[in-house]
Structure 1
Amino acid sequence: MSIGYLALVLHAHLPFVRHPESDYVLEEEWLFEAITETYIPILQAFEGLQRDGIDFKITMSMTPPLVSMLRDPLLQDRYDAHLTLLEELVEKEVEHNRMNGHLRYLAEHYVAEFSRVRQTWESYDCDLVTAFKQFQDSNNLEIITCGATHGYLPLMKMYPQAVWAQIQVACEHYEQNFGRPPRGIWLPECAYYEGLERMLADAGLRYFLTDGHGILYARPRPRFGTYAPIFTETGVAAFGRDHESSQQVWSSEVGYPGAAEYREFYKDLGWEADYEYIKPYIMPNGQRKNTGIKYHKITGRGLGLGDKALYDPYWAREKAAEHAGNFMYNRERQVGHLYGIMQRPPIIISPYDAELFGHWWYEGPWFLDYLFRKTWHDQSTYQMIHLADYLQLHPTQQVCCPSQSSWGYKGFHEYWLNDTNAWIYPHLHKAAERMIEIAHLEPADELAWHALNQAARELLLAQSSDWAFIMRTGTMVPYAVRRTQSHLKRFNKLYEDLKAGKIDAGWLSKVEEIDNIFPEINYRVYRPL
Structure 2
Amino acid sequence: MSAPQPEPVPGQLTLVLHTHLPWLAHHGRWPVGEEWLFQSWSAAYLPLMRVLRTLAAENRRGLLTLGVTPVVTAQLDDPYCLDGMHQWLANWQLRAWEAANLHTPTGAAEGTATTPEALRQFGIREYEEAAQALEDFTTLWRHGASPLLRELIDAGTVELLGGPLAHPFQPLLNPRLREFALHEGLADARQRFAHTPSGIWAPECAYAPGMEHDYAGAGVSHFMVDGPSLHGDTALGRPVGQTDVVAFGRDLQVSYRVWSPKSGYPGHAAYRDFHTFDHLTGLKPARVTGRNVASDDKAPYDPQRAERAIDAHVADFVTLVRQRMISESERIGRPAHVVAAFDTELFGHWWYEGPMWLERLLRALPAAGVHVGTLGDALAGGFVGTPVDLPPSSWGSGKDWTVWSGEKVADLVALNAEVVDTALSTVDKALAQTDTAPTRDFVADQILRETLLTVSSDWPFMVSKDSAADYARYRARLHAHAMREIADALASGRREVAQRLADGWNRADGLFGALDARRLPR
Q: TM-score, normalised by structure 1?
A: 0.89
Match of 1:11 in 2: 18
Provide closer, same or farther for how the CA distance between residues 47 and 395 of structure 1 changes in structure 2, counting only shifts above 3 A.
closer
Residue 469 in structure 1 maps to residue 461 in structure 2: yes
Provide closer, same or farther for how the CA distance between residues 305 and 246 of structure 1 changes in structure 2, counting only shifts above 3 A.
same
Provide closer, same or farther for how the CA distance between residues 478 and 394 of structure 1 changes in structure 2, counting only shifts above 3 A.
same
2: CA distance, partners of 1:405 / 1:97: 55
Residue 83 in structure 1 maps to residue 89 in structure 2: yes
SS of the equivalent of 1:148 reads: coil
Instruction: Using the TM superposition, give the Cα deviation of residue 122 of structure 1 relative to its aligned residue in structure 2, in angstroms.
Output: 1.4
1:213–1:403 Cα contact (<8 Å) kept: no
1: CA distance, partners of 2:512 / 2:260: 35
1: CA distance, partners of 2:384 / 2:328: 19
Match of 1:229 in 2: 237
Residue 313 in structure 1 maps to residue 330 in structure 2: no
1: CA distance, partners of 2:103 / 2:155: 44
Q: Which AA in structure 2 matches 1:516?
A: G
1: CA distance, partners of 2:415 / 2:141: 41
1: CA distance, partners of 2:351 / 2:141: 27
Q: Which AA in structure 2 matches 1:523?
A: A
Provide closer, same or farther for how the CA distance between residues 97 and 431 of structure 1 changes in structure 2, counting only shifts above 3 A.
same
Q: 1:449 aligns with which of 432, 441, 449?
A: 441
2: CA distance, partners of 1:72 / 1:391: 34
Instruction: Using the TM superposition, give the Cα deviation of residue 308 of structure 1 relative to its aligned residue in structure 2, in angstroms.
Output: 1.1
Q: 2:169 aligns with which of 140, 152, 159?
A: 152
2:238–2:247 Cα contact (<8 Å) kept: yes
Structure 2 portions without partners, runs of 5+: 1-7, 105-114
93-102 or 504-513, which moves further after superposition? 93-102
Instruction: Using the TM superposition, give the Cα deviation of residue 26 of structure 1 relative to its aligned residue in structure 2, in angstroms.
Output: 5.0
Residue 262 in structure 1 maps to residue 271 in structure 2: yes
Match of 1:512 in 2: 506
Structure 1 portions without partners, runs of 5+: 218-224, 279-290
2: CA distance, partners of 1:23 / 1:295: 23
2: CA distance, partners of 1:131 / 1:246: 27
Match of 1:39 in 2: 45
Match of 1:288 in 2: none
Match of 2:414 in 1: 426
Alignment of 1:373-392 (within 5 A): 373-377=363-367, 379-380=368-369, 382-392=370-380
Match of 2:324 in 1: 334
2: CA distance, partners of 1:166 / 1:496: 23
2:180–2:521 Cα contact (<8 Å) kept: no
347-356 or 394-403, which moves further after superposition? 394-403
Number of matched pairs: 497
Instruction: Using the TM superposition, give the Cα deviation of residue 2 of structure 1 relative to its aligned residue in structure 2, in angstroms.
Output: 4.3
Match of 2:451 in 1: 459
Residue 500 in structure 1 maps to residue 492 in structure 2: yes
Instruction: Using the TM superposition, give the Cα deviation of residue 470 of structure 1 relative to its aligned residue in structure 2, in angstroms.
Output: 1.3
1:256–1:323 Cα contact (<8 Å) kept: yes
SS of the equivalent of 2:408 reads: coil
2: CA distance, partners of 1:501 / 1:304: 61
1:161–1:525 Cα contact (<8 Å) kept: no
2: CA distance, partners of 1:347 / 1:268: 41
Instruction: Using the TM superposition, give the Cα deviation of residue 196 of structure 1 relative to its aligned residue in structure 2, in angstroms.
Output: 0.6
Alignment of 1:481-500 (within 5 A): 481-500=473-492
Alignment of 1:50-89 (within 5 A): 50-55=56-61, 57-89=63-95
1: CA distance, partners of 2:421 / 2:464: 26
Provide closer, same or farther for how the CA distance between residues 446 and 498 of structure 1 changes in structure 2, counting only shifts above 3 A.
farther
Residue 347 in structure 1 maps to residue 321 in structure 2: no
Q: Which AA in structure 2 matches 1:169?
A: E
Provide closer, same or farther for how the CA distance between residues 396 and 316 of structure 1 changes in structure 2, counting only shifts above 3 A.
closer
Q: 2:516 aligns with which of 511, 518, 522?
A: 522
Q: 1:440 aligns with which of 415, 423, 428?
A: 428
- Deviation per CA, 1:355-378, whole angstroms, max 9, x where unpaired? 01101111111110110111132x
1: CA distance, partners of 2:514 / 2:493: 23
431-440 or 312-321, which moves further after superposition? 431-440
434-443 or 338-347, which moves further after superposition? 434-443
Residue 117 in structure 1 maps to residue 117 in structure 2: no
Instruction: Using the TM superposition, give the Cα deviation of residue 23 of structure 1 relative to its aligned residue in structure 2, in angstroms.
Output: 8.8
Residue 136 in structure 1 maps to residue 153 in structure 2: yes
Match of 2:4 in 1: none
SS of the equivalent of 2:234 reads: helix
Q: 1:187 aligns with which of 193, 202, 205?
A: 202
Match of 1:241 in 2: 250
- Deviation per CA, 1:382-440, whole angstroms, max 9, x where unpaired? 21111012111217531111121111111111112233321012221122222332343
97-106 or 430-439, which moves further after superposition? 97-106
44-53 or 294-303, which moves further after superposition? 44-53
Instruction: Using the TM superposition, give the Cα deviation of residue 52 of structure 1 relative to its aligned residue in structure 2, in angstroms.
Output: 4.0
Q: 2:98 aligns with which of 92, 95, 99?
A: 92
Instruction: Using the TM superposition, give the Cα deviation of residue 114 of structure 1 relative to its aligned residue in structure 2, in angstroms.
Output: 0.8
